[in-house]
């Protein structure tokens, strides 16, 4: 049995972007990946994130917003930050841990009508789906 690659997605609140990335990585990565997400200041999973992920057939309603587990961070193969704050404030990782940063806007800060806000959530979701898909292809090849 192959050893699973361990990936951790980090954001400040672990409420939207990192939750979506966790959902996509679990869905697309199958049994090859051990997937986690965490936040510097966990703020609960955003209901709009749950809703837009459900639109693409992925249920993240059972995921929870968690603080960073230092042991998990040290044992990860890959850490992906999804906001500048997490990139800048993420604890130091050992040299063997590959780090990536995906600069994505925070849909939780979107303003406007509900329709306009949901459009931002969908754009970010679709960007994350593309990035996770590319990452899985790269690492699995």
Q: Which of 7, 8, 11, 136 is catalytic?
A: 11
The neighbouring-strand residues paired with 101 are 81
Q: 31: which residues sit within 8 A by CB, 6+ positions away? A: 4
- Which one of the listed residues 21, 50, 90, 136 is annotated catalytic? 90
Catalytic, 90? Answer yes
- In the set 83, 104, 124, 132, the catalytic residue is 83
How many other C-beta atoms can be found within 10 angstroms of the C-beta atom of residue 80? 26
At residue 12, φ and ψ (nearest 5 deg) are -60, -55
Q: 2: which DSSP letter?
A: P
For residue 98, indicate whether it is catalytic: no
Judged by DSSP in three states, 104 sits in coil
Q: Considering only CA atoms, which of 38, 48, 137 is closest in space to residue 83?
A: 38
Tokens for 59, please give them: 């249920």
Active site residues: 11, 83, 90
């Amino acid at each position: 049995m192959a050893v699973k690659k361990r990936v951790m997605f980090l954001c400040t609140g672990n409420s939207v972007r990192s939750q979506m990335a966790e959902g996509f990585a679990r869905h697309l990565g199958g049994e090859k990946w051990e997937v986690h997400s965490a936040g510097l200041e966990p703020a609960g999973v955003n209901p709009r994130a749950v809703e837009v992920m459900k639109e693409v057939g992925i249920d993240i309603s059972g995921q929870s917003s968690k603080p960073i587990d230092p042991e998990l961070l040290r044992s990860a193969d890959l850490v992906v930050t999804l906001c500048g704050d997490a990139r800048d404030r993420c604890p130091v990782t050992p040299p063997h841990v590959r780090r990536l940063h995906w600069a994505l806007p925070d849909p939780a800060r979107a303003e406007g009508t509900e329709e306009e806000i949901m459009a931002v959530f969908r754009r970010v979701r679709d960007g994350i789906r593309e990035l996770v898909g590319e990452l899985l292809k790269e690492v699995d090849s």
